[in-house]
């Protein structure tokens, strides 16, 4: 990852002022609960977006990305507004805009961007870019901005500049992640508690299976689930589904809306139970049934899974996983599987075999290791 600093130095004849990073994330449990004022339990991945940056001379900012070769995208960080910068650079320009809107000084910048967070896999590659740019802007401005404020700035870029109606989990995970820890986030008030997650001590591993099924939550389905949740909260007369319990569900007349609400209500309870088990020092194998139940709920009640992820979950279990579920926004992306360390190869083989039988592209499997959140590298 020093390559991005080297590329900057070669191009500009001087080293960048600094190099900052922010990671992608895996969500252990708590899906689509974040925009319902609920609970989530993600962790930061070792995969990161890295930004080399320095103040720019003249009235324009320029951003280049290793993943998007070609001419730099230019805009004015001091005046850019939503709608001005399309495509990948919107995550960068949007963060400049949101940082400025939050009242911090933003000068023009030269930015070189690199990332090894898989794109379109539901691992928050966009939040990683936003948060990396956010910590870079704070560093360049010499501003001491706390991680939750930066996460909210990054989310605003995603919601109001890029136009994706997401919750705030991904940016909070990217900012607050810590090696060996889960980020237990109560999205009502954005309070964070770090929960120990030491799988090697129990001879366990968490496998991440990138099914490589295409996923796009900016497209209609994510927004449709949000609308269903809002309809459910309105039917119950509560501010958000966070405030509903299982006994309230029969009061929702519409069958589909009731199922959507049931997913959120039961998923919140599963997050709380997972935290209770792990914080209490339980054997992590005890969370396996909660992971399984989460997947079933996403498949049948929330209807956000697709054949690739359902097959990966089934095959992981057939191969010996203690629990498995889709992670992230859905409609493709990744599956996680809790496995015995000496059984990881068998689970991987089982998933690969199931995909090969169907003529699907080979999934990419890697260990999910809780890692540090955003910061400065150099």
Touching ligand GAF, residues 2-31 (CB under 6 A): 27, 31
The nearest distance, CB 366 to ligand GAF, in angstroms, is 19
Check residue 284 for interaction with ligand GAF (CB under 6 A). no
Q: Which residues contact 316 (CB under 8 A, 6 or more apart)?
A: 207, 209, 324, 335, 337, 339, 347, 350, 351
Q: Evaluate whether 289 touches 325 at the Cβ level (below 8 Å).
A: no
User: Taking Cα atoms as reference points, which of 208, 211, 205, 210 lies closest to residue 343?
Assistant: 205
> Nearest approach, Cβ of 134 to ligand GAF (angstroms)?
16
Of the ranges 32-40, 196-204, 231-239, 246-254, which one interacts with ligand GAF (CB under 6 A)? Answer: 32-40
Furthest CA-CA distance within the chain: 67
Restricted to residues 299-328, the positions that interact with ligand GAF (CB under 6 A) are 328
- Nearer to ligand GAF by C-beta: 48 or 217? 217
Beta strand 18-27 with 61-65: parallel, antiparallel or unpaired?
unpaired
Q: How far is CA 304 from the centre of its chain?
A: 16
Comparison of 20 and 35: residue with beta carbon closer to ligand GAF: 35
Contact between 288 and ligand GAF (CB under 6 A)? no
* Cα–Cα dist 78/275, whole Å: 43
- CB of 64 or CB of 217, closer to ligand GAF: 217
* In the complex, minimum distance from the CB of residue 153 to ligand GAF, in angstroms, rounded to a whole number: 15
Q: Which is nearer to ligand GAF, 61 or 124 (CB)?
A: 124
283 is catalytic: no
State which residue, 325 or 352, has the beta carbon closest to ligand GAF.
325
Q: How far is the CB of 184 from ligand GAF (least distance, A)?
A: 14
- Total residues in contact with ligand GAF, by rule CB under 6 A: 12
Q: Rounded distance, CA 268 to CA 270, Å?
A: 5
Q: Choose between 76 and 159: whose C-beta lies nearer to ligand GAF.
A: 159
- What are residue 93's phi and psi, to 5 degrees? -60, -40
φ and ψ at residue 282, rounded to 5 degrees = -65, 160
- Spatial distance between the Cα atoms of 20 and 52, rounded to a whole number of angstroms: 7
Beta bridge partners of 65: 68, 113
Distance between CA atoms of residues 264 and 221, nearest Å: 16
Q: Give how far the C-alpha of residue 88 lies from the chain's centroid of Cα atoms, to the nearest Å.
A: 17
Question: According to CB under 6 A, which residues from 323 to 352 bind ligand GAF?
Answer: 328-329
Q: Which of 22, 34, 48, 374 binds ligand GAF (CB under 6 A)?
A: 34
Is residue 217 within the footprint of ligand GAF (CB under 6 A)?
yes
Q: Is residue 32 at the binding interface for ligand GAF, with CB under 6 A as the rule? A: yes
Active-site annotation holder among 34, 37, 170, 210: 170
The least distance separating ligand GAF from the CB of residue 376, rounded to whole angstroms, comes to 25
Please, what is the minimum distance in Å from the beta carbon of residue 271 to ligand GAF?
Answer: 11
CA angle 214, 217, 221 (to 5 degrees): 105
CA 301 → CA 41, 73, 193, 261, distances in Å? 20, 42, 29, 8
Residues from 140 through 199 that contact ligand GAF (CB under 6 A): 166-167, 169-170
- List residues binding ligand GAF (CB under 6 A): 27, 31-32, 34-35, 166-167, 169-170, 217, 328-329
> Catalytic residue numbers?
170
């Amino acid at each position: 990852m020093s390559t991005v600093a080297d590329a900057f130095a070669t191009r500009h004849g001087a080293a960048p002022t600094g190099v900052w990073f922010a990671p992608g994330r895996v969500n252990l449990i708590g899906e689509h609960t974040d925009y319902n004022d609920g609970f989530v339990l993600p962790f930061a991945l070792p995969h990161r977006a890295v930004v080399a940056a320095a103040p720019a001379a003249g009235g324009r900012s320029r951003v280049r990305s290793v993943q998007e070769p070609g001419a730099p995208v230019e805009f004015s960080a001091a005046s850019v507004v939503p709608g001005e910068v399309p495509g990948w650079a919107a995550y960068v320009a949007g963060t400049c805009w949101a940082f400025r809107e939050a009242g911090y000084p933003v000068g023009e910048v030269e930015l070189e961007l690199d990332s090894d967070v898989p794109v379109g896999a539901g691992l928050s590659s966009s939040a990683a870019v936003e948060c990396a740019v956010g910590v870079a802007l704070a560093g360049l401005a010499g501003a001491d901005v706390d991680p939750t404020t930066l996460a909210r700035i990054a989310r605003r870029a995603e919601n109001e500049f890029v136009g994706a109606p997401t919750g705030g989990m991904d940016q909070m995970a990217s900012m607050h992640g810590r090696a060996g820890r889960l980020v237990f986030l109560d999205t009502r008030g954005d309070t964070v508690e770090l929960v120990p997650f030491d799988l090697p001590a129990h001879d366990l591993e968490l496998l991440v299976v990138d099914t490589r099924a295409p996923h796009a939550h900016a497209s209609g389905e994510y927004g449709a689930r949000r609308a269903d949740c809002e309809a459910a909260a309105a039917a119950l007369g509560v501010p958000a589904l966070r405030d509903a319990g299982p006994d309230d569900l029969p009061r929702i007349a519409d069958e589909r809306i009731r199922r959507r609400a049931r997913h959120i209500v039961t998923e919140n309870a599963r997050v709380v139970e997972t935290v209770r088990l792990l914080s209490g020092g339980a054997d992590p194998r005890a969370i396996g049934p909660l992971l399984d139940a989460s997947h079933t709920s996403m498949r049948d009640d929330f209807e956000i899974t697709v054949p690739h992820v359902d097959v990966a979950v089934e095959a992981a279990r057939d191969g010996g996983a203690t629990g498995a579920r889709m992670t992230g926004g859905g409609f493709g992306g990744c599956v996680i599987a809790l496995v015995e360390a000496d059984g990881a190869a068998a689970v991987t083989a089982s998933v690969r075999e199931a995909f090969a039988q169907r003529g699907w592209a080979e999934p990419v499997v890697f260990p999910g290791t809780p890692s540090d959140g955003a910061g400065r590298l150099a």
